[in-house]
Amino acid sequence: MKKFYTLFLALTFVVTASYAQKGLSLGVNGAYINTNILNQNTWGNGHEYDYKLTFSFAYGFDIGYNFTDNLGLYTGFGFLNLGQDYTDSYDGSSWERSLLFKYNVIPIMFKYTGSEARVNFVGGVGILYAMMKQADQTWTQDGTAYHEIGETLNSKEEFDIGASDVTDRYTKNDIILNLEVGARIIIIDNLYIDALLNFGYGVKDINEPDYQFINKDGNYDPSHNAFVGFKVGVAYVLFGE
């Protein structure tokens, strides 16, 4: 009987608990993501490598305003690491290649939150405006740094294919379509945690025109950022009703 009574109180708490939905909120978030570059560019090397599972992270600060109990607009500022790792074997050698892109991001997201229960559905759709800070490359042949001189497509300038700093080979910004779905868990009045699946796809070709080399089939395929991961956010409603 005691166990039944405790369970009844817990269920009642979940069903009836509520908090201020409308109003201004501030929060922080972090994500663990699987990152990908769709259509690799090896800058005239002549070989496309096998993809490796690549993991990275993102974190940031949120500010949002709910116009109604269910709908709101969110923005903020964040840091997002994208890229891709590769591996392959040919010509009697083992090859490893890694690209790491560091972005500052500004999200513009519309979010929907379910009922005012203790645990709610939450979903968001919008864009991440991504501004590249730096692009790093590691390229090795049998554990030794790989270097080869190539020539850019338009300016016909020489460049090191295996250089470590490759920031100038990529566009300075990307627009990433972003989708989030998951649960919002109310901790106490006005304080909540979001646990979300997070999906992103960059709509822009990330390669600069001078580095848009054809692939092994004789075609040029634009390269795009993409990621999927798990995101957790904590926020507090400063004022609401």
Task: Enumerate the β-bridge partners of residue 106.
Answer: 129
Domain 2-240 architecture: Beta Barrel (2.40)
Question: Digits of tens for pLDDT over the chain (241 positions)?
Answer: 444 344 433 433 333 344 556 789 999 999 999 999 999 999 989 899 999 999 999 999 999 998 888 899 999 999 999 999 999 999 899 999 999 999 999 999 999 998 767 899 999 999 999 999 999 999 999 999 999 999 999 999 999 999 999 999 999 999 999 999 999 999 988 899 999 999 999 999 999 999 999 988 889 999 999 999 999 999 999 876 5
Its pTM surpasses 0.85: yes
Sequence-separated (6 or more) residues with CB below 8 Å from residue 36: 51, 54, 84, 225, 226, 227
> CA Rg, the chain, in Å?
23
- Please count the other Cβ atoms lying within 10 Å of the Cβ belonging to residue 46: 10
Q: Give domain limits for the chain.
A: 2-240
Amino acid residing at 44: G
| Strand 191-202, strand 144-145: pairing | unpaired
Q: How far apart are CA 107 and CA 193, in angstroms?
A: 18
